[in-house]
Amino acid sequence: MEERRDQWTSRSGFIFATIGAAVGLGNFWRFPFMAYQNGGGAFLLPYFVALLTAGVPLMILEFGFGHKMRGAAITAFKKLSRKYEWIGWWQITVPVVVVTFYSVIISWSLRYLIFSFTQAWGEDPGTFFSGDFLGITSGPLDLGGLRWGIFAAVALIWLANYYISAQGISGGIEKACKFMTPFLVIAMIIFVIRGVTLPGATYGLNYFLNPDFSKIMDPSVWVAAYSQVFFSTTLAVGVMIAYASYLPEDSDLANNAFITVFSNSSFDLMAGFAVFSTLGYAALKAGVPFEEMAVAGPGVAFVAFPKAISMLPGPFWLQSLFGVLFFAALLLAGISSSISMMEAFASAVIDRFGTDRKKLLGWFSVIGFLFSSLFATGAGVHILDIVDHFVGSYAIAILGLVEAIVLGYIMGTAR
């Protein structure tokens, strides 16, 4: 029996949600430094080739699959054939794992939003982040106890995610993303304008844009480009299949896919301009080589950017306001992505077993929060690096390959 499903109330609501799912914390630090390390401006060639040959086609494929099957990952693959149901289970395992540590990084953004009012990181943001804030221990087996400030912030993030997700697609996720995604667009435009108008901005942008075309012949650069597209667009983890399953019958899937993919890539590029122009200014202001400011990974947001914020021209309150806006953008980018991960799991289980949404998400949030607590210890960063490396480097790439083969070949020839 076909059960009545929730539905997006507008095309813009769906697009805002898919962009919100794709645009996450990694846009602010992963793409800019991937370009920096892989040929600068020359990296844009393999990046856009990857977008056109993998990002857009797979996004259309996932939108079409979820829309046609009217079900999230498990049900969609089961309808294709019972022998493929395991792919759906495998897909939703990834966001279940990721959201447990992703919520902790979002909690850092919440804490740093509060720190921005007083610039609590002081003269040495690096020592503050690793020592005072994270209390990093010697290794993953040395837990070092809970960091209570992070622990409390993680609880708030899980509560926010639960509240939004429990309201469903139209009542929760769509309404939230109609606010969060436009906020992110406006904030990113402000960051770019502020960054490129700073003295010394071109110094940083040269590191981001100056092309090293010799890198084009390096296969690892092409692997990095395709990896970035998979990672950044939230493909192969059940999110887009779930979201598309709630679309009305007469939806324009191809154009929606193009808009989602290229909006996300626009965020990637704007983040590169904002980050490298601001760090270029900070490097010249501090009289240090750019390489000293160019800290890859979360360090750019929680070490390099706080240092740059404290150096911005203008009064203290204006510096703090810029910090509040920056970490508010990180916070909302994280939440819009994390609710999509929860929805990938919730939709799949509800479609398969008819489980009550609020009860399912309630239990999931409690158990997820308990697992997140492990990342809120002094060893959290060490454990996070291990899990993130495995999931980001292997699981998503393998899932993408399996999905492309099954949907592109088997489904295509059979139907």
Tell whether 42 is covered by a domain.
yes
Contact 336, 106 (CB under 8 A): no
- What are the pLDDT digits (tens) for 60-87? 999 999 999 999 999 999 999 899 999 9
Tokens of 263: 């909006």
Tell whether 346 is covered by a domain.
yes
Sign of the C-alpha dihedral computed for residues 365, 367, 371 and 373 taken in this order:
positive
Contact 13, 256 (CB under 8 A): no
Tokens of 338: 């994390």
The pLDDT of residue 30 is 87
The pLDDT of residue 2 is 43
How many Å is the maximal CA-CA distance in the chain? 69
The pLDDT of residue 415 is 52
The pLDDT of residue 412 is 60
The pLDDT of residue 191 is 97
Q: What is the CATH number of the domain that holds 93?
A: 1.10.4160
CB atoms within 10 A of CB 104: 26
Strand partners, 146: 377
Domain that holds residue 59: 24-414
The pLDDT of residue 85 is 96
Tokens of 283: 């490097």
The pLDDT of residue 4 is 66
Q: What is the 3-state secondary structure (H, E, C) of 122-176?
A: CCCHHHHHHHHHCCCCCCCCCCCCECHHHHHHHHHHHHHHHHHHHCHHHHHHHHH
Domain count, the chain: 1
- What are the pLDDT digits (tens) for 6-31? 999 999 999 999 999 999 998 888 89
Counting every residue written for the chain, the total comes to 415
Nearest-angstrom CA–CA distance, 261 and 238? 16
What is the model's pTM?
A: 0.95
Nearest-angstrom CA–CA distance, 378 and 395? 26
Tell whether 13 is covered by a domain.
no
Tell whether 16 is covered by a domain.
no
Nearest-angstrom CA–CA distance, 332 and 185? 11
Half-sphere exposure of 386 toward its Cβ, with a 13 Å CA cutoff?
9
Tell whether 18 is covered by a domain.
no
The pLDDT of residue 8 is 98
The pLDDT of residue 281 is 96
Tell whether 337 is covered by a domain.
yes
- Residue 242 identity (one-letter amino acid): A
Low-confidence ranges of the chain (pLDDT < 50): 1-3
CB atoms within 10 A of CB 385: 13
Contact 137, 376 (CB under 8 A): no
Tell whether 194 is covered by a domain.
yes
The pLDDT of residue 7 is 96
Nearest-angstrom CA–CA distance, 376 and 152? 9
Tell whether 247 is covered by a domain.
yes
Task: State how far the alpha carbon of 245 is from the alpha carbons of 5, 146, 242, 359, 379, in Å.
Answer: 9, 40, 5, 22, 39
Residue 38 DSSP symbol: T
Q: At what angle do helices 357-375 and 148-166 cross, to 10 degrees?
A: 160
